Amino acid sequence: MKLRLQPFVVAIWKILQWPASVFFVLMSYSLIYFFGPDLHERRWFWISRGSAFGALVWLVAAVGFRVYLHFFDSYSALYGSLGAAMVLLAWLYVTGLAFLIGAEINAEIERVTATLQLFRVQAESRSAESKNDSFVKKGQVPSSSLLERKMPNHRES
């Protein structure tokens, strides 16, 4: 069954197929990385470093599979009807691996960010304590805002 599209429609599709797939993959990764982790507070990122890296790995794998199947498509002669299933399983494995690598990058960035925030809050509390000591020495009352600093809401893993 042929669609009998005009040549300019085919040319437009050839131009738009990779940007459309990049957009779809980035949105998929962003949605999975937003709804996937069990967090108290979620923050939406259109593109995170993990989703960008995972999408890049996925797109490189897509181009690699396309080149492989174009030049070395003898898998069906070698494996028979199981060849397509084997290629599909390899493709799903690479896709899952790209998702996991991107999620690990995002988790590591979150962990480092939380550690840096902890150090920053501890340093601020130390400086507030030293200010409070100097206030007490001078007989002044410290402000309550310096005493009520809290850690950001973050779940322990």
Secondary structure, 3-state, 83-102: HHHHHHHHHHHHHHHHHHHH
User: CB burial class (10 A; 0-12, 13-18, 19+) of residue 130?
Assistant: exposed
pLDDT of residue 140: 55
Residues 91, 65: contact at Cβ < 8 Å?
yes
Between the alpha carbon of residue 48 and those of residues 44, 73, 104, the distances in Å are 9, 36, 12
Q: What is the number of H-type helices and E-type strands within the chain?
A: 5, 0
pLDDT of residue 147: 44
pLDDT of residue 101: 92
- Residues 71, 76, 78, 84, CA torsion sign: positive
Residue 7 has pLDDT above 60, yes or no: yes
Residue 133's φ and ψ, nearest 5 degrees, are -60, -40
The pTM score is: 0.62
Question: Per-residue pLDDT tens for 88-140?
Answer: 898 899 989 998 999 899 889 888 988 988 888 888 887 777 766 555 555 55
Residue 146 has pLDDT above 50, yes or no: no
Residues 47, 26: contact at Cβ < 8 Å?
yes
Q: How many CA atoms lie within 13 A of 127 on its CB side?
A: 6
Question: Per-residue pLDDT tens for 36-92?
Answer: 777 777 777 778 888 889 889 888 888 888 888 788 767 667 777 787 788 789 889
Q: Of the ranges 6-10, 22-26, 77-81, which is most confident?
A: 22-26
Residues 45, 100: contact at Cβ < 8 Å?
no
pLDDT of residue 97: 92
pLDDT of residue 68: 81
